[in-house]
């Protein structure tokens, strides 16, 4: 006797939800096309200025906000700061033509998770969005090294890092997510997040990327952690 085997449905991975903000419609259309062509990303909405971006995020918070730096009404830096304060679970990837160090430093201090130039390939930009959605920080390797060589450490570290905090900062510099760090050290995601908050305070940093950069400039971490690929 032959029995029909029940068919099992293939598991469908949820797509990374993105809100895209850029004041050039043609640029937005091109970025949207290759993001969605990847099959892993869904663009929920587009904004042509910073104010509209905050309104769209208020309506439906995405997994990642992809922002330009220079936009009407609110700049990408201001939107990043607003997201970091109001929607800390939303990742921020700044995608811009500006490679000026003041812009990069201002965006990182505002709490951005990534900074990628529009000269990057579509594959690199897609990968950056996915990395930010996973909780990683993304920064162009050459740009990261340039910032490290010129970065000034805090005038005075508030308090030395503990051995555990140094372990976590090192793993963050290698691109591990909070979950991966927790698994590696046999602690919970929440504990990792608490340690990172203390690390940020001690190093006077606003993001994982800036904390790692400060750690390298202070000699707490090896310089080869600067600009790790993918997801510094």
Q: Domain boundaries in the chain?
A: 16-134, 152-225
The whole model's pTM is what?
0.64
Q: What is the pLDDT of residue 141?
A: 62
List pLDDT tens digits, range 128-161.
Answer: 999 899 888 887 666 665 665 555 555 555 578 8
What letter would DSSP give residue 119?
T
Is 179 a residue whose pLDDT tops 50? Answer: yes
State how far the alpha carbon of 126 is from the alpha carbons of 22, 101, 123, 230, in Å.
16, 23, 5, 12
User: Closest Cα partner for 91 from 131, 154, 133, 151?
Assistant: 133
| Mean pLDDT for the chain overall | 81
What letter would DSSP give residue 90?
S
Into which CATH architecture does domain 16-134 fall?
A: 3-Layer(aba) Sandwich (3.40)
List pLDDT tens digits, range 182-218.
Answer: 899 999 988 988 888 888 888 877 777 778 877 877 7
Is 108 a residue whose pLDDT tops 90? Answer: no
Into which CATH architecture does domain 152-225 fall?
A: Orthogonal Bundle (1.10)
What letter would DSSP give residue 150?
H
Contact (Cβ atoms closer than 8 angstroms) between residue 38 and residue 125: no
Residue 230 — very low, low, confident or very high, per pLDDT cuts 50/70/90?
very low
Q: What is the pLDDT of residue 197?
A: 86
List pLDDT tens digits, range 45-79.
Answer: 999 999 999 999 999 999 999 999 888 888 888 99
């Amino acid at each position: 006797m032959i029995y029909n085997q029940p068919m099992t449905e293939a598991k469908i991975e949820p797509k990374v939800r993105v809100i895209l903000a850029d004041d050039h419609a043609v640029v937005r259309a091109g970025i949207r096309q290759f993001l969605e062509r990847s099959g892993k990303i869904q663009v929920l909405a587009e904004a042509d200025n910073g104010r509209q971006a905050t309104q769209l995020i208020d309506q439906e918070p995405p997994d990642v906000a992809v922002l330009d730096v220079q936009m009407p009404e609110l700049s990408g830096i201001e939107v990043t700061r607003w997201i970091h304060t109001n929607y800390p679970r939303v990742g921020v990837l700044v995608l811009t033509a500006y490679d000026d160090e003041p812009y990069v430093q201002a965006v990182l201090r505002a709490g951005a998770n990534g900074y990628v130039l529009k000269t990057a390939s579509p594959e690199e930009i897609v990968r950056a969005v996915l990395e930010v959605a996973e909780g990683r920080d993304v920064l162009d390797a050459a740009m990261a090294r340039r910032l490290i060589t010129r970065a000034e450490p805090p005038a005075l570290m508030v308090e030395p890092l503990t051995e555990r905090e140094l372990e976590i900062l090192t793993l963050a510099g290698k691109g591990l997510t909070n979950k991966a760090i927790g698994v590696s050290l046999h602690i919970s995601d929440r504990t990792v997040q608490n340690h990172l908050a203390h690390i940020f305070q001690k190093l006077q940093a606003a993001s994982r990327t800036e904390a790692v950069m400060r750690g390298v400039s202070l000699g707490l971490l090896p310089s080869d952690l600067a600009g790790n690929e993918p997801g510094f």
